[in-house]
Amino acid sequence: MLGVQKTVLLSCLRVVHRSHRASSFAFDWAVRMRDMHFEEVRIAALLRDMAEILMWCFAPVEMVKIKEMLDQNKSMRSGAAQEEVFGFRLKALQIQLVKEWKLPALLLSLMDSETNKNPRVLNVVLADRLARHSSHGWDDAGLPDDYRDIAALLNVKVEDAMEIVGAQPSA
């Protein structure tokens, strides 16, 4: 039982850390883009994984099962594993929680990657993606696409985007 508790605690703390990193990226980029409401963007990035954090706290057995499924099958998407275990994706829970708790509608729109044409939304989405991919190391296969998209968002060269995010060259 202690091993499971340790896994749950470490996994939850990883999500919290990843959320904090995403909020730092989003804040930096919002300031660079001269967004007058940069704090809203930072908070949206920070809260983007709120449902996952809550599920690690209140449904740890199921979250461990999802983690094991993803560890065993690297090509499996987390949303598919969530649907298989819970019958829904955590994104749907997240949206419902924002509505139920009557959080600002702006927060919902900044968390909704379906409307990612808006630069503020795109900022939050890309910050989350970069935090997820870089948490696996700076040689993650998803990072080149992230750098390209971040460069487009910030209107800079890819090399400059890599420098801005502090990308570490592969050894």
What are the residue ranges spanned by the domains of the chain?
Answer: 2-165
Average pLDDT over every residue of 121-147: 90
- pLDDT tens digits, 146-164: 999 999 999 999 999 999 9
Label residue 3 by pLDDT band (50, 70, 90): low
Which CATH class name applies to 2-165? mainly alpha
Amino acid at 59: A
What pTM does this model have?
Answer: 0.87
How far is Cα 171 from Cα 167, in angstroms, rounded to an integer? 12
Please report the pLDDT score of residue 2 as a whole number: 47
- pLDDT tens digits, 90-101: 989 998 998 899
**Is residue 75 within 8 Å of residue 157, measured between CB atoms?**
no
**What value does the mean pLDDT of the chain take?**
89
